[in-house]
Structure 1
């Protein structure tokens, strides 16, 4: 499941989790005694050998793991909460198709369906993740596993038949029978999806405090600029100062940090040394801060929600700034449009003394 899909699903996920879990909080997984009598996590899996796959040419799935319990995938995020509850998801499926180097995964809410020994696992937008049940030997049978489980709704029409067949699972990818395994097996499998990078350290929301200033930036050398002739930026700063701290203290809540955090981007261009600044307001989303421009330059009016940048933690205390659209103050934001065409898309910024960001 992609990060964007998980973010878009959050609001729906909270509602669905509450409806399924009764009094359980939306960020706490409901543990089903049918799958986990001791109240802990439950793991089921199957790894198909070469002979089975040869006999089932229309089965793409070579490895399948089902985990019932707390989120085994998400790492500490930039959301105000720790991001580990995934809005009440309590069922997670990871499958690796033939030839793939790592699994794809999806999460949802699993609950008894009212039918004997049947458990329905649903996803956002009223989609089904799977119907599961235990057989007499304690094995988990996985049914109603759609071929397009990892694709967006309507993907067959959007992609066309040939591309859909390439991306979707096989016609024989259903009716899996999984053995119960140690929980550690599932956690190890899900860890293959997005291995943690210790060099990244804590999320920005933890490293950067709401009541403290910060300054990150970079001054590009002549050698760097010579090797990047399409880069417009000579120097760049991202910072929060006294004004931004006071604004958050007056209007924001520490528990919501970094939502509502204001910051400033200041730049100089390589030709003529033109200086420009732009204010942004940020929200924590998954592994990044999404920061939207708050004031149109030149007093012009335009849709600033499309003028956005993204901040992510970088290795060894750095900060990564992503500029997917023309949303940095290199030009009038209301005149710029579309994707960034210059070489000013991604910046690796170092921590600097606050004096380096003084306006």
Structure 2
């Protein structure tokens, strides 16, 4: 039940840069660079360097490189409502350096540099007014990619932060520029980007698709004596996570199904081996990357203090299960209003794998 790898905030697939957006293209303006995509379809260019080439260019780190012009090939179906998804990027670069098991990637906005946006060189910009690359297509339809910065996957001040030696290790090499990429089927690039973060098919669709706004659900687990004996620090004897008539009525009255699961109330009932009594706490959820982030709510709660900073996280588990994470003592195992509830959870009550149960198992 160890706590591992739950996010407290949604993250990007490349360096997270806290800057304003620079020149992002609207979704309906994408795919207008006819040099890259004459018919308006997604376009793929790539190259995989053989051992002979890499031996002849010892300062080139990149062994595989692909550029995709089109719709996002990186993001998985996740828990964020469609209205919150970022569709502004239209250029995506992925490279795999020698010896690496997985690629790195960056995205940007590609447009002509001319004032009318219809002619001249093609520049792909990034956040913080950085340049992803400059592009042109030669007379054989190959993509010439130049102006690739060594710190493309790093923060702008990374050399100062990391030091010269570590910066040199993480940055691209001095010969990693002026790539000539061959046109390839879009599926080839999609498969390459899929290597970055492979989807586990056992997880199935996101919770926002499995759990409907107008339908109840009940998940839980009861721990037997043998389990509790082998986990002496675990207080939880049984746990239920559910949406019943009260939660459904609350969402129907004020929720927005188009932005589901934002605003969804979820109730959690816990029975501890010490107290033996059921304690129920309601949480208000929102979609965040691949999880629901749920803040404790005073509605339908056994506690009356301000507990909005107490959070739990819900994720889809394998084979139809749900994972609940409680990294910050935010389950009602102890009184959430007491000082004892402050700080990190020190017991085994951190991560739970919950199975689907009949709704009657979650009845008050």
The question of whether the paired residues in 1 share the 8 Å contact of 2:89 and 2:107 is answered with yes
Matched with 2:269 is 266
Per the alignment, do residues 113 and 207 of structure 1 end up closer, same or farther by CA in structure 2, a change over 3 Å counting? same
Once the two structures are superposed, the pairs formed by residues 153-172 of structure 1 within 5 Å of their partners are 153-172=156-175
Count of matched residue positions in the alignment of Structure 1 and Structure 2: 348
**1:107 paired to 2:107:** yes
CA distance in 2, matches of 1:6, 1:297: 40
CA distance in 2, matches of 1:262, 1:117: 53
Matched with 1:195 is 198
Aligned-residue offset at 1:271: 3.3
CA distance in 1, matches of 2:175, 2:332: 53
Matched with 2:91 is 91
CA distance in 2, matches of 1:326, 1:154: 36
Deviates more, 1:194-203 or 1:32-41: 194-203
3-state SS, counterpart of residue 137 of structure 1? coil
Matched with 1:344 is 349
The question of whether the paired residues in 2 share the 8 Å contact of 1:261 and 1:282 is answered with yes
Aligned-residue offset at 1:5: 2.3
RMSD of aligned alpha carbons: 2.9
3-state SS, counterpart of residue 11 of structure 2? helix
Matched with 2:6 is none
Matched with 2:209 is 206
Aligned-residue offset at 1:191: 1.9
CA distance in 2, matches of 1:10, 1:29: 24
Once the two structures are superposed, the pairs formed by residues 114-263 of structure 1 within 5 Å of their partners are 114=114, 117-263=120-266
Q: Which has the higher contact order (CA 8 A, sep 6+)?
A: 2
3-state SS, counterpart of residue 189 of structure 1? helix
Deviates more, 1:225-234 or 1:67-76: 225-234
Per the alignment, do residues 29 and 132 of structure 1 end up closer, same or farther by CA in structure 2, a change over 3 Å counting? same
Aligned-residue offset at 1:259: 0.8
Per the alignment, do residues 152 and 357 of structure 1 end up closer, same or farther by CA in structure 2, a change over 3 Å counting? farther
CA distance in 1, matches of 2:289, 2:222: 29
Aligned-residue offset at 1:294: 2.0
3-state SS, counterpart of residue 253 of structure 2? helix
Alignment TM-score, normalising by the size of structure 1: 0.86
The question of whether the paired residues in 1 share the 8 Å contact of 2:19 and 2:127 is answered with no
Name the structure with the higher helix share: 1
Runs of at least 5 residues in structure 1 that lack an aligned partner in the other structure: none
The question of whether the paired residues in 2 share the 8 Å contact of 1:102 and 1:192 is answered with yes
Per the alignment, do residues 155 and 231 of structure 1 end up closer, same or farther by CA in structure 2, a change over 3 Å counting? farther
Per the alignment, do residues 265 and 133 of structure 1 end up closer, same or farther by CA in structure 2, a change over 3 Å counting? same
